[in-house]
Amino acid sequence: MHKEDIITLPNASLRKKSKRVKFIDDDVQKLVANMVSATLDWEANRSHEIGVALAAVQIDDLRRVIIIKNNFEDKTDQTYQVYINPKVIKYMGEIEEDFEGCLSVMNVYGKVPRHNKVKVEAQDIEGNTIRVTAEGFLARVFQHEIDHTNGKLFVDIIKDKENNFYQLTKDGQLEELSYEKAIKQSHILR
């Protein structure tokens, strides 16, 4: 798959809940391979961004599968962990605001409040139950991707926070967007 296979708002699928995966078969393996290839193709076309993670719904497949990059700091590491039927089983720590972007929300970033520590339960690609305690950025990534499986995007969390929308400049810096001009009437809040 390619970056063009990643759906973006206002595609209605992004607002739908994904279905639980009952069996991990060749079709699920193919889904994961497609998710990884689409994410890497997207990342290859971005000089200042990394394809950190993806939910299956973002390639228009409503199954509860997410992938998360193994190394957020190294763009040459193109490996991902797979989490099937992921769910947050415990929110912990403080709620902190930090920046998030999304491959399905074109050219908009947001300052989003999230718990800085979570416990997640999922299945790995072999079908084994795994539990992960994630902190900091990884905790944020899990919450963002699990939200996708529930039909929720980061813009839904901050829709009433007019000063929390940003865009990436050509030199890789974030600058605040005018809520009135760029967001309020935009398709991203519908």
Helix (H, G, I), strand (E, B) or coil at 39: helix
Q: How far is CA 134 from CA 51, 104, 183, in A?
A: 19, 24, 31
Residues constituting the chain: 190
The contacts of residue 33 (CB under 8 Å, 6+ apart) are none
Q: Tokens standing for 129?
A: 């139950």
Q: Tokens standing for 37?
A: 């290839």
Catalogue the active-site residues. Answer: 145
